[in-house]
């Protein structure tokens, strides 16, 4: 019998986790197969066709696109650091390693996709790059992430200890649930709002592909958090639950500040309050997926997000109710 089947998902061994079958965590292998089927290449999208739209956009609209790129470009790479230093080394299941390897390629692909935006649109790359350090609300979001990741890079984490497992979960919540599952989605909504107004349609297609990948990343991360909690009941204390919940609420506050800098005055159909209601809606969904009650109790102001991504099965993972509502609404 393959003794690997007795291995829990966490572990830092080198001799373990080298035989794929039998698969202990089928959700991880299914996500790997789905991710491979989703493979795409940024330059297949004809971004140059959006240049005329970009030229006639207002200064605040151009600022919003630039601001999003300033945030997304470095943070796609930050996610890869979180995976490489904070997740992959502490997971033993080979099916999880397969998925993480594909996810890391996807984050690299997203980085290249957003570089394609910078090289196509008349955006000053130097200024866009500088913003992630020079804009306090953007720098604060990165500092939040780096705080959790640094614990795993500046010293060796012992994944067999309670504190090691807590640090693993904290980092996973920080980069996956918060960065990918709340902050990125808030940015995707703003990016796709231009297409809602018949602007930047090809940019919208690029974002569609990224959203499709990110939906899988989120599903993998949440499954991983829940599996680690289930296999390590000693982590399930009231204090640790409170800490994780508070991380998510703090992250909403950081995003609200950032969104005021993203849209200082508001553009047609969209202002910071609208985005922040969506952020609170997202935070409630993430809280519920982790087993907490919703905190904000707001309804989704951007129901079109689910309907706009009609090819994206996994967007429906998070917005199933709204999507089926939209589909019913359209067909009735
Ligand atoms: Fe990404
Ligand atoms: Fe991601």
Q: 3-state SS of 114-166?
A: HHHHHHHCCCCHHHHHHHHHHCHHHHHHHHHHHHHHHHHHCCCCCCCCHHHHH
Q: How far is the CA of 78 from the centre of ligand 1 (A)?
A: 10
- Distance of alpha carbon 227 from alpha carbon 157, whole angstroms: 19
Mean pLDDT of 251-262: 96
Could you tell me if 70 and 131 are in contact, meaning their C-beta atoms sit under 8 angstroms apart?
A: yes
148 belongs to the catalytic site:
no
Would you say residue 219 has pLDDT above 60?
Answer: yes
In the CATH hierarchy, which top-level class contains the domain 50-331?
mainly alpha
- Peptide bond preceding 22 in cis form (omega within 30 of 0): yes
**In this structure, is the dihedral angle defined by the CA atoms of residues 300, 302, 304 and 308, taken in order, positive or negative?**
negative
Would you say residue 324 has pLDDT above 70?
Answer: no
Residue 194: Cβ within 10 Å count:
25
Residue 330: Cβ within 10 Å count:
9
Ligand in closest contact with the CA of 77: 1
Q: How confident is the model at residue 329 (pLDDT cuts 50, 70, 90)?
A: very low
Q: What are phi and psi of 264, to 5 degrees?
A: -60, -35
All residues with CB under 5 Å from ion ligand 1: 76, 107, 110
Q: How confident is the model at residue 90 (pLDDT cuts 50, 70, 90)?
A: very high
Give the list of residues 6+ apart from residue 107 with CB closer than 8 angstroms, or none: 76, 77, 79, 80, 83
Mean pLDDT of the residues in the chain: 90
pLDDT at 309 (0 to 100): 53
Q: How far is the CA of 213 from the centre of ligand 2 (A)?
A: 7
Which residue in the list 88, 116, 129, 296 is annotated as catalytic? 116
pLDDT at 308 (0 to 100): 57
Q: How far is the CA of 272 from the centre of ligand 2 (A)?
A: 24
Decide: residue 331, CB within 10 A, 0-12 exposed, 13-18 middle, 19+ buried. exposed
Structure tokens at 275: 């985005």
Structure tokens at 151: 């614990």
Ligand in closest contact with the CA of 103: 2
Q: DSSP character for 264?
A: S
Give DSSP secondary structure letters for 303-328: THHHHH-TT-TTHHHHHHHHHHHHHH
Residues found in the chain: 332
Q: Dihedral angle at the C-alpha atoms of 142, 117, 121, 183, nearest 10 degrees?
A: -40
* Domain ranges (residues) in the chain: 50-331
All residues with CB under 5 Å from ion ligand 2: 180, 214, 217
Would you say residue 184 has pLDDT above 60?
Answer: yes
Given phi > 0 = left and psi -120 to 50 = alpha, else beta, which region is 236?
A: beta
Could you tell me if 65 and 121 are in contact, meaning their C-beta atoms sit under 8 angstroms apart?
A: yes
pLDDT at 317 (0 to 100): 36
Q: Is 267 helix (H, G, I), strand (E, B) or coil?
A: strand
Q: How far is the CA of 19 from the centre of ligand 1 (A)?
A: 28
Q: How confident is the model at residue 6 (pLDDT cuts 50, 70, 90)?
A: low
pLDDT at 190 (0 to 100): 96
pLDDT at 268 (0 to 100): 82
User: 91 - beta bridge partners?
Assistant: 10
pLDDT at 14 (0 to 100): 83
For residue 127, the Cα-to-chain-centroid distance in whole angstroms is 24
Could you tell me if 177 and 249 are in contact, meaning their C-beta atoms sit under 8 angstroms apart?
A: no
Q: How far is the CA of 163 from the centre of ligand 2 (A)?
A: 26
Ligand in closest contact with the CA of 108: 1
pLDDT tens track for 13-36 = 888 888 999 999 999 999 999 999
Would you say residue 81 has pLDDT above 90?
Answer: yes
Q: How confident is the model at residue 267 (pLDDT cuts 50, 70, 90)?
A: confident
Q: Which residues fall in the annotated binding site for Fe cation?
A: 76, 107, 110, 180, 214, 217
């Amino acid at each position: 019998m393959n003794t690997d089947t007795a291995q829990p998902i966490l572990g830092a061994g080198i001799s373990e986790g080298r035989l794929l079958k039998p698969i202990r965590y089928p959700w991880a292998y299914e996500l790997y197969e789905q991710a491979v089927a989703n493979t795409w290449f940024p330059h297949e999208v004809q971004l140059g066709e959006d240049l005329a739209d970009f030229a006639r956009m207002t200064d605040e609209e151009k600022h919003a696109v630039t601001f999003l790129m300033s945030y997304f470009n470095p943070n796609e790479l930050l996610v890869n650091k979180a995976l490489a230093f904070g997740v992959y080394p502490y997971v033993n299941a080979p099916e999880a390693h397969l998925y993480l390897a594909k996810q890391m390629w996807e984050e690299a692909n997203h980085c290249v996709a957003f570089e394609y935006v910078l090289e196509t649109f008349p955006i000053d790359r130097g200024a866009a790059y500088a913003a992630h350090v020079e804009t306090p609300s953007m720098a604060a979001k990165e500092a939040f992430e780096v705080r959790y990741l640094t614990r795993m890079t500046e010293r060796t984490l012992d994944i067999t200890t309670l504190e090691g497992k807590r640090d693993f979960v904290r980092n996973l919540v920080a980069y996956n649930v918060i960065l990918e599952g709340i902050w990125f989605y808030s940015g995707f909504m703003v990016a796709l709002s231009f297409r809602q107004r018949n602007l930047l349609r090809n940019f919208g297609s690029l974002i569609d592909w990224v959203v499709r990948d990110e939906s899988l990343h989120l599903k993998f991360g949440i499954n991983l958090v829940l599996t680690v909690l289930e296999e390590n009941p000693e982590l399930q204390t009231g204090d640790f639950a409170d800490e994780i919940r508070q991380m998510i609420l703090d992250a909403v506050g950081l995003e609200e500040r950032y969104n005021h800098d993203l849209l200082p005055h508001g553009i047609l159909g969209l202002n910071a309050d609208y985005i922040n209601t969506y952020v609170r809606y997202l935070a409630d969904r993430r809280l519920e997926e982790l087993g907490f009650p919703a905190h904000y109790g707001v309804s989704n102001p951007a129901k079109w997000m689910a309907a706009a991504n009609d090819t994206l099965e996994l967007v429906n993972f998070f917005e199933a109710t709204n999507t089926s509502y939209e589909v019913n609404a359209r067909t009735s």
